[in-house]
Amino acid sequence: MEDIVIELKNVHKAFGSRKILKGMNLQVRRGETMVILGPSGTGKSVSLKHITGLLEPDAGECFIFGKKISGVHEKDKSALRAKMGVLFQSGALINWLSVYENVALPLREHKLAYGAELDKIVMQKLKWLDLIPAKDTLPSNISGGMKKRAGLARALTTNPEIVLYDEPTSGLDPVMSNVINELVIRMKKELGLTSVVVTHDMSSAYMIADRISFIYEGQVILCGTVDEIRNSSNPLIQQFIHGRTTGPMILDHSE
């Protein structure tokens, strides 16, 4: 039996009268990079928030390493969250803290390291992501690509087993997008991380994915390899991956 580290089972979620997830099923295997694709407003970011336990499903269950993260005590959620790192779309750096202090923040907040040990961990992550020259710089004075790398360094300080990415190449030029893509691949190879990547960037999806889950109207309508997605006969998927404005897909500009 395959080692499933993330599982959403028949998850439903609505906000008021608007139903977002309508029976979401997702399984992510240990050490793989799962890319989640789909049009805006179809539940990609909401799915990530269920994985982290930030949202509770209206129905269905969410599991991390076989343990429920939905409907459990906050202490149990925190223990599972400790195994995850998150790279937010903007990098979500704190503007008045230097790059070094941003990366050190999870260690300080959770009292995981102090003094020389903390400094050693932070400098290792900064070096690994080629951020040493920017360590004393404020986020407002670094590029978008460096902000993403700093956010990634911060996500890695607690040595997570799972990393979740929300639009990691959004707002970046093609060269810097490939730098981020190569980092995702490198972390899988060198650190054995399990990754879930929400993206609209097809070139990025094709480059990094082991499997792709295509979500439409709150459900996975196909999960498969890059070739299986690329060669799918489903007109919804073909419309999306080729960016066609005509087809069966109902366009929605909210997320």
Domains of the chain (ranges, CATH numbers): 1-83+163-255 (3.40.50.300), 94-159 (no CATH)
Q: Among 50-54, 55-59, 62-66, 107-111, name the one with the lowest average pLDDT.
A: 107-111
pLDDT at 23: 92
Chain segment 132-143, per-residue pLDDT in tens: 998 899 988 988
Q: How far apart are CA 127 and CA 131, in angstroms?
A: 6
Token pair recorded at residue 252: 């929605």
Q: How far apart are CA 88 and CA 70, in angstroms?
A: 21
DSSP 166-203: ESTTTT--HHHHHHHHHHHHHHHHHH--EEEEE-S-HH
pLDDT at 209: 95
Q: Residue 170 to residues 36, 62, 93, 144, 242: CA-CA distances in angstroms?
A: 14, 27, 16, 9, 18
pLDDT at 78: 83
To 5 degrees, how large is the angle CA 194–CA 154–CA 27?
Answer: 20
Pairing state of beta strands 33-37 and 211-216? Answer: parallel
Stretch 205-225: mean pLDDT: 94
